[in-house]
Amino acid sequence: MRTIRGTPVWVWLLLVAAVFGVSSAGALFQQVDEVPPLLRASWRLQLTSLILAPMAVVQWIVHRDEISDRLMERNTIFWIFGGGIFLALHFGAWVASLDETSLTHSLLFVTAHPLIIVVGMALVAKLMKNYRSPTKLEIIGASIGFTGAALSLIDYGDQQGDRTVTIWGDFLAFLGAMFVVGYIVSGRILRKWMPIFIYAFPVTLIGALLLIPASYAIEPDYHKFGVLGWVDAEYFRWFLALALIAGLLGHTGLNTCLRYMPPLVVSTSVTLEPIIGSIIGHLLFNTGLPGFWTWIGGPILIVGIILVVVSSSEADTNNETSEVAVDV
């Protein structure tokens, strides 16, 4: 069992860097808001796929004999494609929300997926006897979290930087949180035996490819930028930063930390993303400060999420082997 005591100093430093890396994504996405959101999401996943590809090849060479048969099973293919579909839906909804509401509100609602999982657990437990119901503390945490979300919504219409808080934008971010639950489920099923990069590469690539026809179909400005518009010098630096800082340093760093410290520590650290992301946006990109009710409701929402994460860790012994299932 991994414990906090004895964790190397470099792992703690990596955890801090990884959380800051993950938290930077929203502010970075907003710097290229002239690009339609679905296309922007596709570009992000395209470049991430290119970075993941050589790592996936190395893992395939090392683990080929162990996993080749299982990799071609119908169930495996189903969950890989399912993970890619949910990842595309998650990124599409979340990046769109960054254009429609403030950075802080977008981050608050897109990171609320632990609350959605509690609701989902309650519904599934009623239908299937072999699934556990949420614990009392999980229910309390979810209730506190939804209360904080409701209080934050009172700030709709508030101007924060160059963005206005809107119910629609907050809903898109919450929709992104709902979709990421499907990605989490896929990851937890496949990552029991599948190496991280062999899982992440095809799922990320599928997500990137699915967003291209979606952008073509519903975004009028698609033709101004094109499928590979991220190679343009004007955009490349931003998407390279998203892939390297938010993706490689952020999410790969978090999964590396899981080898040396309890998942609860890593998962709880990730709940700070709305706070750190808002600070990064305000200090580096002048995204504005939250309104009064967001100052009240935001911390309540985060406390509710932390309660759910802590109680889930105590209730689920399998949490020791799971990843921090956030976007790649």
- Which mean pLDDT values do the consecutive 10-residue runs of the chain (328 residues) have? 71 94 96 97 96 95 94 95 97 98 97 94 85 91 97 94 94 97 91 91 96 97 95 95 91 84 87 95 92 96 95 65 47
Q: What is the pLDDT of residue 325?
A: 46
Report the SS3 class of residue 285. helix
Q: How far apart are CA 223 and CA 240, in angstroms?
A: 22
DSSP 300-326: HHHHHHHHHHHHHHHH-GGGGG-----
Integer distance in angstroms from the first to the last C-alpha of the chain?
26
Contact criterion met (CB below 8 Å) for 202 and 84: yes
Cα four-point dihedral sign 248, 239, 177, 163: positive
Assigned token pair, 222:
């698609």
Q: What does the pLDDT look like over 118-170, one tens digit per residue?
A: 999 999 888 887 778 899 999 999 999 999 999 999 999 999 888 999 999 99
Q: What is the pLDDT of residue 321?
A: 42
Report the SS3 class of residue 144. helix
Assigned token pair, 276:
């750190």
Distances (CA, A) of 322 to 18, 186, 196, 260, 317: 18, 12, 11, 13, 10
Q: What is the pLDDT of residue 316?
A: 63
Nearest by Cα to 324 from 228, 252, 272, 216 = 252
pTM over 0.75: yes
Query: Could you identify the residue written with the tokens 């689920």?
Result: 316
Contact criterion met (CB below 8 Å) for 143 and 149: no
Alpha helices in 72-195 (DSSP H): 74-100, 103-110, 113-127, 136-153, 167-190
Distances (CA, A) of 150 to 71, 159, 314: 43, 18, 27
Report the SS3 class of residue 160. strand
b/e for 236-272, b at 16 or more Cβ within 10 A?
Answer: eebbebbbebbbbbbbbbbbebbebbbbbbbbebbbb
Q: What is the pLDDT of residue 256?
A: 83
Contact criterion met (CB below 8 Å) for 252 and 293: no
Count CA atoms within 13 Å of residue 275 on its CB side.
15
Report the SS3 class of residue 282. helix
Single-letter amino acid, residue 156:
Y
Q: How far apart are CA 291 and CA 228, in angstroms?
A: 38
- Chain centroid to CA 2: how far? 24
Contact criterion met (CB below 8 Å) for 215 and 36: yes
Q: What is the pLDDT of residue 5?
A: 64
